[in-house]
Amino acid sequence: MFQELKRLIEQMGKDKGIDKSIITEALEAAMMTAARKKLGQNVDIEAHYNDEAGEIEVFQFKTVVDNVLDPEMQISKEEARRTLDEGAEPGDSLGMKIETSSFGRIAVQMAKQIIIQRVKDAERDNIYDEYKDRKGELINGFVQRFEGGNIIVNLGRAEGLVPPSEQISRETYKRGERIRSYLFEVKKNTKGAQIILSRTHPAFLKALFEVEVPEISEGLIDIVSVAREPGKRGKIAVKARDKDIDPVGACVGMRGTRVQSVVQELRGEKIDIIPYTEDSAKFVSSALSPAKVNRVFVDEENRAMMVIVPDDQLSLAIGKNGQNVRLAVKLTGWKIDVKSETMAAEKDDSERNALTRISGMEPAVAEKLSVQGIKSIAMLAALEPDALSAMSGAVEKTCAEWIAEAIRLLDEETGRHAKA
C-alpha cells in the first residue's frame, strides 16, 4: 500500500517540478502522523527516508528501564537485550522499526492527504518564486474563465488575473482566446501566488515595442517616456544612442510594419512616435504631433509652456476632449497651454492695452515692452527705473513716474477686490 503512496509522490514531484527533499519531508511527516494514529499521540517516533531502499522507515523509541511503568515509552532491560541490543543498559533509548503496512487504510489515507497538501503548498511557493522575478515581462496565455469582471488567464502551470482596472474598456474576449498582457505585480497570499496582469499599463506599450524593434532590445534606441489613454491613443518618446540611427524610423519599420504590429496587438490604439531631444521647446512641439507649432514661450521656473499654433491646427493640437495635449503633458512632464494665433494676438492686444493705461506711455512703447516680456501692470510695477529705461528707451525720470502710476493702479485694483 505504501509502495503505491511512494509512486504517487514520485509522479507528483516529476510532474510539478518540486524538489525531492520537499517530497520526502512530506512523506516522513505523513508516516509519523499515520504511526501516531495507530500507536498513540504520546509515543516517541521518528521517520526517515531510506534512499537506497526507496522507503520511509519509521522507528518507535523507548527508554530501557529495570521496571516498566509506561509500556508506550519504556522497555524492560531483559526485553531490550533479547530483541534489540544485547548490551542495553537502563537509561538507553532504543529504536524499534515499525512495519508501515500495519498502519491501516484510514491512516494511509490521512498520510496521502498530508502529502498532497504539502506538495500543493510547495507548488504554490514554486510558482511565486518563478513569477516574482518576471515582473515587467510580456506574458502570453489563454482566457480560461471570467470571475466578477476579472479575466482569468491560463499560463500553463499557473493562473493570471486581469482585473477590470487593467482591461481596455472596449476589448472583449472569449474562452480559449489568446491574450497577451504585462506582468506588473505578483502577490503572495494564503492561496499561493496571485499574478496580476495588465493591458492598460504604459509599460505594456513600451514592452511591445521592445519586442518588435530589435534596436531597442539591443540598447541602440531608448524609450525615454510613454503616455497612454488605453484603447484610444498612446505616445512614446524615443532617442538613439548612435547619431546614424533614426529612432522614429526604426520604430515605425519598413512600410510601418513594426508600429502596425503594436497597433494590432492593442486592437487599433493609435500610436505617435516622438523623437526625444534635450531642447524642451522642440520636444513639447513634437509631442503635440500631428499638430504643427509656430512658436513656443517657455517658463522654466514653473515648468510651463505657451504653445502657439496656426488657427486651423488648434483642434488638432488639443485633440478630442483634450486628449492630444493631455498625452503631451504626460509624455514631456511640462504644463502646456495651447493657443491659436488669433487667441495669442487677442491676448497680446489685451496686454498692450493694459500698459497704455499708464499716462504718457505710447502704444509703440507698450508694444516694445510686451515683446520683452513686460505684459501687465503688475510686471511693470515690479521693475526698477533703470531697468525700465533700458527696456523702453525712456529717461529714468519718466520711467519712475510710470512705475509709480503702475503701483497706484495696482493698489486701486486691490482695494476694489477687497471691498468686493
Q: Is 7 exposed, middle or buried (0-12, 13-18, 19+ CB in 10 A)?
A: exposed
Which tens digits make up the pLDDT trace of 369-418? 878 877 777 678 767 889 899 999 999 999 999 988 887 876 675 455 44
Cell digits of residue 250: 526604426
- Give mean pLDDT, residues 88-93: 86
CA distances from 114 to 30, 51, 107 (A): 6, 21, 11
Consecutive H or E run containing 234: strand 233-240
CA distances from 64 to 36, 42, 58, 59, 321 (A): 21, 17, 19, 15, 89
Residues 97 and 173 in one domain: no
Domain of 12: which CATH number? 3.30.1480.10
pLDDT score at 251? 96
Residue 224: phi and psi, rounded to 5, are -80, -45
- Give mean pLDDT, residues 214-235: 95
pLDDT over 90 (residue 145): yes
Report yes or no on 329 lying in a domain.
Answer: no
pLDDT score at 83? 82
The secondary structure of 118-165 as a DSSP string is HHHHHHHHHHHHHHHTTTT-EEEEEEEEEETTEEEEE-SSSEEEE-GG
Higher pLDDT, 46 or 350: 46
Residues 70 and 105 in one domain: yes
Residues 6+ apart with CB under 8 A from 229: 323, 326, 327
Report yes or no on 174 lying in a domain.
Answer: yes
Report yes or no on 152 lying in a domain.
Answer: yes
Q: Is the peptide bond before 290 cis (omega within 30 degrees of 0)?
A: yes
Residues 51 and 124 in one domain: yes
What confidence category does residue 1 fall into, taking pLDDT thresholds of 50, 70 and 90? very low
pLDDT over 90 (residue 28): no
Residues 38 and 105 in one domain: yes
Which of 281, 296, 272 has its CA nearest to residue 332? 281
- φ/ψ bin of 313: left (φ > 0), alpha (ψ from -120 to 50), beta (otherwise): alpha
Domain of 377: which CATH number? 1.10.150.20
Residues 13 and 104 in one domain: yes
* pLDDT, averaged across the chain: 84
pLDDT score at 357? 82
Which of 372, 371, 353 has its CA nearest to residue 361? 353
Residues 123 and 9 in one domain: yes
Domain boundary, last residue among 166, 198, 230: 198
Strand partners, 339: 308
pLDDT score at 417? 42
Residues 112 and 144 in one domain: no
pLDDT over 80 (residue 108): no
pLDDT score at 394? 93
Cell digits of residue 123: 507548488
Strand partners, 227: 235
DSSP state letter for 43: S
- Give mean pLDDT, residues 108-120: 73
Which residue do the cell numbers 500507536 mark? 39
Report yes or no on 12 lying in a domain.
Answer: yes
pLDDT over 60 (residue 420): no
Which tens digits make up the pLDDT trace of 123-142? 777 788 888 888 889 999 99
Residues 34 and 115 in one domain: yes
Residues 29 and 122 in one domain: yes
Report yes or no on 235 lying in a domain.
Answer: no
pLDDT over 90 (residue 209): yes
Residues 143 and 180 in one domain: yes
Cα angle 412-415-420, degrees, rounded to a multiple of 5:
130
Report yes or no on 253 lying in a domain.
Answer: no
Residues 145 and 110 in one domain: no
Report yes or no on 287 lying in a domain.
Answer: no
CA distances from 67 to 63, 77, 141 (A): 11, 8, 69
pLDDT over 70 (residue 51): no
Report yes or no on 227 lying in a domain.
Answer: no
pLDDT score at 418? 47
Which tens digits make up the pLDDT trace of 175-192? 999 999 999 999 887 777
Q: Return the percentage of the chain with pLDDT > 90, whole number.
A: 39
pLDDT score at 96? 80
Residues 168 and 84 in one domain: no
Domain boundary, last residue among 128, 152, 183: 128
Domain hosting residue 55, numbered range: 2-128
Domain boundary, last residue among 148, 179, 198: 198
pLDDT score at 222? 96
Which tens digits make up the pLDDT trace of 321-368? 888 999 999 999 998 888 888 877 766 666 556 787 888 888 888 888
Strand partners, 270: 233
Domain of 153: which CATH number? 2.40.50.140
Q: Domain count of the chain?
A: 3
